[in-house]
Amino acid sequence: MHDTITVCENGTELTFSFDDILAYHGGGFPGGVVHGLKAMQAAFALLDDTPPERREIGIVTAFTGPGGRDALEMVTRALTDGRLSVERSLGGRDVISDPPGPYLFRFSYRGKTAEAVIRPGHVLEEFVTLGAKRDKSPAEIARHENLKREMADRLLPLAASEIYTARLLPG
């Protein structure tokens, strides 16, 4: 399924759906929730043949959005346990003019590190432009909210490999 992810907690499998993660997040950034979910799906498949132990996963990302952060936290507890680090310098300044922008995630697990980087075309230029704009008009705020939902609706049904390129890093 494209909308769930499974990890283990002391050997017991825990499966989280997009809806579970979105409820935990509170709903404000559904596109970011999808990005966190899809990056994990893409990378975890490279780290082990079975669902990873959630509290053994380390994360370094350029992504600062609250939806993505909450997705990573709910599934891995990496923020709470101090295993999540945000390093903006890993990505480009923005996904349109300086790919991959913040859409770069590195997951470490039991001696392996998998990197998930967004494929071109999945983030709309209008979304980036409105997101960066200060002093938005009420119409622009409404449009930006619609674009957040549109992104989630458009990306959620896709396989993670259609959105993110994942690879194991050497060493």
CATH of the domain at 85: 3.30.1330.130
* pLDDT band with cut points at 50, 70 and 90 for residue 1: low
What is the three-class DSSP state of 76? helix
Looking at the chain, the whole-number percentage of residues with pLDDT higher than 90 is 97
pLDDT digits (tens, 9 = 90+) for 14-69: 999 999 999 999 999 999 999 999 999 999 999 999 999 999 999 999 999 999 99
Q: Which domain holds residue 111?
A: 4-168
Confidence grade of residue 2 (pLDDT, cut at 50, 70, 90): confident
> ∠ CA 128-23-129 to the nearest 5 degrees?
5
Residue type, 92: G
Distance separating alpha carbons of residues 41 and 146, to the nearest angstrom: 25
Total-model pTM: 0.96
The number of distinct structural domains making up the chain is 1
Q: In the block, which residue shows the tokens 């209008």?
A: 126
Q: How far is it, in rounded angstroms, from Cα 103 to Cα 68?
A: 10
